Structure 1
């Protein structure tokens, strides 16, 4: 994976986390590519766009303190909440004003880094404002070369502090005049047989290296070897970070803004397509609902023309049930409604003086109420029906203003 290693040195004159001055260099497959560069956050953003590399931010600052924390098995689950208060007596200030990060847990101990929250938030905000995602943020002393049973010390001369890396995930800074006392105290804390077998010294020139070696305790001077420090070639960046400050409240956030820029055209096109799809579906649905209402109204009108009273639930099924009673079947034979109508209709049609008032069919009987100006016409109708092999029985007559009304009962001859 390609990395863009960025160094923020808080000890530079006029360095400000709100307008950071940075140094960076591209690392590809473990090899440095191209020259190192220096500049502002804007210039770094341009370099990152060209390289598409993951950003590792190394912080050279005495504001970052690395210590070892101890905890019990019961405290492990709530380590992030309890540890700040375990270290409260060693911190100058309110623990709520500090950011805490944790390394890998080893048994009942863990490396803890703490630093004032405000300056680190301000610094990381500059990267986020430039649309840069910091994948790893760690103290620069944890990039000093390190192997088991070796301590690494770096001193850049003058008033610069000495940086001491004595474990994979632990380091500290100390003024040169306090270095010997701090190393003696560190040696006294080491378990038996855990003293370093080698001490690696880094400096910018021979004089600085000699001064650094002379400051060591006598027990370490004979174990010391020296090397000239190179800002980039001397960094140990081949391993995973020993501790990443990007956790807790400063953990990496999802790059939603960058994702949005990438997917924005597709999202807009999908949104337009969705709106058109929903709009056309809504219009089609509204049209279909209108048609359904018209069909329902027409069905109800047709049903009520046949069945004026009663509930209408399923008009088609109800009408079929009604009609089934009038179908001719094997039991009714020629007495079915359809065969009877087929026989009497031509006779009724040929007698224009006879008016059919109503017609009823019940269980093989056809009941006709007819009206005529002359009773003889009604009697001729009865006779004509009997000539068609029908039983035509005159059940009653009555006089009306228009002439005579009569009721006929008609059945087929068995």
Structure 2
């Protein structure tokens, strides 16, 4: 993998700076090596002129107007076709980099002026002997090849690059707007769910709590009174947790947390004892001290145990349940196993409980395993990571 990364970096470097440098060297070489025979009085400026043109071609991307001026001066002073080649390349670079700006038009004017001056030089007597029409046609054709064509091609490339940049920016902006609309839709849906839960679920749980409290006061035997008290306490706790969830759904930043403490590992034993008090047959195997975990892991472990006990009561009512909390130096395991229920009507489930458990465990960085046991029972096993440096008992 590391070797592949090195090759990828080398290829990226080749596609970028090295390729551009090689292209610049090639263009500069072609510009100064264009075959021609300068006049005798121009021989003394051939070497320094070619050197200046070579350097200008290498730096044309950073200083395109300087490259245009250098190529034009080379065309006038040295008189070789290398200057014309340099003007074409420099004019294209200037137009493609600066776009339709005053700098580009100045460069086009420099190229046009140098071309006209070169045509008017005394050395072009053969051209003048063909008549003014031929001279004008030659000037226009040369201007089209040296200035107009690279200018138009460079401006087209600049506008195309600008259009692509604008389209990319619009795509990014559209994606941001879609994310914002999706976030607003999620917020609106959460508020709607919060209203529905408050109007329906919270009301019914409150009624259950009130009825259980009334039954506690009017019970004729101790067993009924105890069961009614368990129902009242459980419904009150459920109502408190429901209010906490409603605040979370509404994003109530002014009153975070709530009156009821968030579920954690400290509440596992109380959770089992509440279920036993309600009539469940649960055997708990749990160490006295648990490893230190994050708040997310603590909440997830509590909810997994709560949902597993609830499912055992719904799908296998009356059957023995074994809850094990296994602590180790590198993890925490919550395992709930129940036997198959017999002779009792089983409440059909929606499947959302398992989905919620899996989401909570995954969010906490753990793994969840659910399924049948060899004796046709059912097992829920969730493994969570613990904080580094925590010691389990």
TM bucket, shorter chain: under 0.3
Q: Give me the TM-score of the superposition, normalised by structure 2.
A: 0.27
Q: Which has the higher helix share?
A: 2
Q: Give me the TM-score of the superposition, normalised by structure 1.
A: 0.26
Higher-Rg member (1/2): 1
